[in-house]
Amino acid sequence: MNKTKTKIGILALCAVALSYMSLSPIIASIAADFPNVDETLPQMVFTLPSFLFISCSPLCGIAMSYINKKAIAVSSLICYLVGGLFPFFFHSSIWLLLTGSAIIGLGTGLLMPLINGFIVQYFDENSRAGLMGLNAIFTALGAMIFIFIGGQLARFGWRYTYLTFLLVLVIIFIVLICLPKGEPQKAQEPSSGKKGSAFEMNRYIFGLFVIGIIYFVIQNSFNTNSSSYAIDVLGAGPSMASLITMVNTVGGIIGGMTFRGVSMKFRNQIETFALFIVSVGFIITFFVQNNLIFILGSILVGYGFAVINAAGSYLLSLNTRPETNPFTVSIYLALINLGAAVSPIVVNACAGVFGEGAPVKYLFSGIVILLVGVYSLVLNLRLGKKKI
């Protein structure tokens, strides 16, 4: 097997994983065109892929035990393509836009666990940190490309942003050429003769699940409120919101580039480090409200997102058996994306107790993530014994 070729195929999948972030800058424009719907529905156009991830991710974990991974990869990319283009042609109702997001969500649920499955199957522990870092880089870089092209197309109207999903055709071509079949892997039966479980859980893994779920419930509020912050607080337009989303992905690229070095330095505390960085990114946008600080906050949040996104799967890969990793990670990814999907509902409701507007939501989010960072610190001091 040509590992370089396999890496290219895996990184091509990473590039399309967060392509739906190209929809973030047009949320305010969509809301303006549908003034009679609840404010949460336009936000759900962006977050619904995370919600659909919930059911599809565990199914992908099961499917990888019976179907080769390449076939699943192509199926997921077709979902991105169809779901992304559907709202371009059918956009008279907010529910049609949500239908497109739901189809994208099916693809996301299949794709995310699959990437981790390929890495665990074809690369040893010594190679994974570097590849997880590349994963984060190409995920952020791909998102930035989609966001940039989507922002340019949005000049003709927000529905033209959906044409960015034509880029998925290129990814399908690369995957067909570069990825190996990815033969199914089933959980092995233990020596006792009882059927082996595909899911693995202990106190440390449970702690990683808790960190991931709470973090993703909160962190998504940055992107879902960035356009309203730019317009209502800074007096800027959709172009500023697009810039903020782009620099957010730049932060993600930096996070991916430094992931291997950061993971070697902080070891099991890598999530703790990133959580503190993210909390700072949120909190400074409340206390200092100008373009420069908003850009800096976006970079910090994007950096932390990339590190935490890679670290969760990475730490699980080191603390689970190879045959239980795909399904365990798929459940983890499903739950954190459940958190991301309900983010607007939870953050709007909780932050609304303290006041209205994007700055209050950012302050609330920063404080919660700071507390999660403290929990991560304690968890890893007590239970994080796995050597990296």
pLDDT tens-digit profile, the chain (388 residues): 688 899 999 999 999 988 988 887 788 788 889 988 887 788 888 878 877 777 787 888 788 878 888 999 999 999 999 999 999 999 889 999 999 999 998 998 888 888 888 888 888 877 777 888 888 888 878 888 898 898 889 889 899 999 999 999 999 999 999 999 888 766 555 544 545 567 788 899 999 999 999 999 998 888 878 878 888 888 876 677 778 878 887 888 898 889 888 888 998 899 999 999 999 999 999 999 999 999 999 999 999 998 998 898 889 888 887 778 778 888 888 888 778 778 888 888 898 888 888 899 999 999 999 999 999 999 999 876 554 4
- Dihedral over alpha carbons 213, 215, 216, 220 (to 10 degrees): 160
CB-count exposure of residue 294 (10 Å: 0-12, 13-18, 19+): buried
Residue 235 backbone class (left: φ over 0; alpha: ψ -120 to 50; beta: rest): left
190 occurs within a structural domain: no
Residue 193, domain member (yes or no): no
Give the per-residue pLDDT at 376: 95
d(CA 229, CA 24) in angstroms, rounded, equals: 13
CA 353 from centroid of its chain's CA atoms: 28
CA 278 → CA 9, 118, 304, distances in Å?
A: 30, 29, 5
What pLDDT sits at residue 80? 96
Dist. CA 147–CA 247, nearest whole Å: 10
What local confidence, expressed as pLDDT, does residue 195 receive? 53
Quote the pLDDT of residue 387: 46
Q: Is residue 16 part of a domain?
A: yes
Gap between the Cα atoms of 182 and 68, Å rounded? 5
Place of tokens 């020596």: 191
For the chain, report the end-to-end CA distance as a whole number of angstroms. Answer: 27
Q: Is residue 188 part of a domain?
A: no
Q: 3-class SS at 18?
A: coil
pLDDT for residue 319: 85
Amino acid found at 371: L
The CATH number of the domain where 242 resides is what? 1.20.1250.20
How far, in whole angstroms, is CA 63 from its chain's centroid? 21
At 256, phi and psi to the nearest 5? Answer: -65, -40
Question: Would residue 194 count as lying in a domain?
Answer: no
What pLDDT is stored for residue 186 in this prediction?
63
Contact call for residues 61 and 113 (beta carbons, < 8 A): yes
Structural domain includes residue 348: yes
| Six-digit token string for 151 | 């922002």
Q: Would you say residue 112 lies in a domain?
A: yes
Task: Specify the number of domains making up the chain.
Answer: 1
Q: Are 77 and 28 in contact (CB under 8 A)?
A: no
Give the structural domain span for 100.
3-183+199-382
Q: If phi over 0 gives left and psi between -120 and 50 gives alpha, with beta otherwise, what is residue 357?
A: left
Is the alpha carbon torsion for 349, 353, 355, 360 positive or negative? negative
**Within a domain: 283:** yes
